Amino acid sequence: MSTAFNPADVQGNILRGYRKPRVRYLMLEVTEPAAARRWLTASLSGGGVPQITTEEPWETKPDTCFNIGLTYQGLQALGLPAASLASFPTEFIEGMSKRAVKLGDAGPSAPENWDKPFNQPARIHLIASIYADDVARLDSLQRAVISEKWGLKLLEPARDGCCFNADYVHFNYADNISQPKFAEIHGTDSYQDWDSQPMAPLGTVLLGYPTNFEGLTWRVPQPEALGHNGSFNAFRVLEQDVVGFEEYLTSAADKLLVHGDADKLLPPGDEAKIGEGLSRRDALREVVAANMCGRWRNGVPLALSPDTPNPASPVSKTNFDYDAKSRCPYGAHIRRCNPRGAQIVQRVANHSRRLVRRGMPYGPAYVYDPSKPRDPNEPNRGLLGNFIGANLGAQFEAMSCDWLNLGLQDPRVTGSNDPLLGANEPATSWFDLPLPSGEPIRLRGLPRFVTTKGGAYTFLPSISAIKYLGSMSG
């Protein structure tokens, strides 16, 4: 097995973000295997279908990008032999909907409540993602992807994501800040200034390379041409209750206004540090929002700037860690999902569950107006997220079940869920705001702000794998 890295063999949406303003996901069913296999071959060699974007460096950014992921049912439908199918990991074979409880997809997030077409997971064979600057291009690319002669049927509706305010996402946080970096892609120069976390080995996202665990290798689906340089993706449609979130911040701020210890959280007179002209109530709202995420809404990490989103001397947004005195809450979203070098219960797990995240919001921007009552016809908003890693079980699932929910990594948060993404129930949920003394103020009654509306585990095949699949007979 060669461990030399060949970017031309890897799909381009794994190791870099295209930063196109629009994306569309097409959930496709293979209706004629032979035609669909010809389509796969054509996606690499011209012939009237969009060409797969690879990791090869480009001089000018292409107008459109195109990538694919295959579900287990998709591999089956294409005619992959049983022995090869059996070489895929259990969680991928079972699929996202079967792993629901592990992922916190229960109650309103349970697969039986998922939207079309995710309510029929077995029919989703292939998820094609197309990236472009405008809807017209997306439409023309979509027409090129799907046609009867290629044996692919679109399972309506397609899902569109769209940047509405640079790197800001719903709930109004700056996103797109931190990602694992790889020596083979990003080089090692100046990495130390970028991040104090160790550089991620390529095996974090690609199959066939050393992993985050010394001496441990993940099974590469067989044959080698199929598995090597592939990756796995947890595609998620995550609906965000933007109104509920802002309302919760207000109710939390109202409770803090009359809380005996709130002056320790935000000394009176410090409101302007949070934002110019903010009332005490609005400043407290921002303090709560920052603590829940672990970053102020402008992306500044609490770990480096616990008292203000606008520190006098600028701080890095990526180069930080959590020491024993860190004022970033143990339960804050970014700390739960990646505790970096913090003391955690599973000592061997630091840095081991990292993911590449590629997401784009859907739905129009939302501007909170406390004077307006909740509009019952509020449009749907959320995130189309891709959580990519070489091993879904060791990364995405491990992070989701033990850390994001349950909070096993730190006894001070065990039994609570992630304040932003967790499967929270107002009757039992809680979140601790740390005070400088270390003693927390406990917030309660957090509802579920994010509901899963669909998703699928997909295999992101390498270019060699797409060739291999296209050339299968039978």
Partner 1 sequence: MDGASNRANDGASDGGRLDRLVDWLPTTPLFKFIAARILVPIWAWRTPVKRLEGGPRPSVQPGDNVQRMMNLVMPLKDKSAVGRALAALAIAQNKDEIYAGLDNVGTVHFARFVIVADNICMFSVYDGDFTNYIRDFIVTIGSVFDAVVGLVEGGDKVIPSAERVDEFIDWVHDHDLFQVSDVATDILRDQEAVNGDTGAGNDDLRKLPRQLILQLNVNRNVSLGSGYRAYPGYSAAQVRQQFGVGW
Residues lying near partner 1 in the complex (CB under 8 A)? 89-90, 101-102, 104, 106-107, 213, 215-219, 344-349, 391, 393-394, 397-398, 401-402, 405-408, 410-412, 414-416, 423
- Closest approach, Cβ 432 to partner 1, in A, equals 14
State which residue, 334 or 349, has the beta carbon closest to partner 1: 349
**Which CB, 54 or 109, lies closer to partner 1?**
109
Residue among 161 and 203 whose Cβ is closer to partner 1? 203
Give whichever of 35 and 401 is closer to partner 1, judged by the CB atom. Answer: 401
| Shortest spacing between CB 351 and partner 1, in angstroms | 12
Give whole-number Cα distances, 472 to 44, 125, 226, in Å: 15, 17, 11
> Closest distance between partner 1 and the C-beta of residue 9, in Å?
23
Question: Minimum CB separation from partner 1 for residue 21, in Å?
Answer: 37
Nearer to partner 1, 257 or 345 (CB): 345
Q: Which is nearer to partner 1, 215 or 474 (CB)?
A: 215
Q: Which is nearer to partner 1, 67 or 458 (CB)?
A: 458
Shortest distance, position 344 Cβ to partner 1, whole Å: 8
Least distance in angstroms from the C-beta of 409 to partner 1? 9
Name the residue nearer to partner 1 (CB basis): 66 or 403: 403
CB of 416 to partner 1, least distance (A): 8
Q: How far is the CB of 238 from partner 1 (least distance, A)?
A: 17
Tell me the closest approach of the beta carbon of residue 428 to partner 1, in angstroms.
8
Q: Which is nearer to partner 1, 301 or 331 (CB)?
A: 331
The CA distance from 423 to 428, in Å, is 11
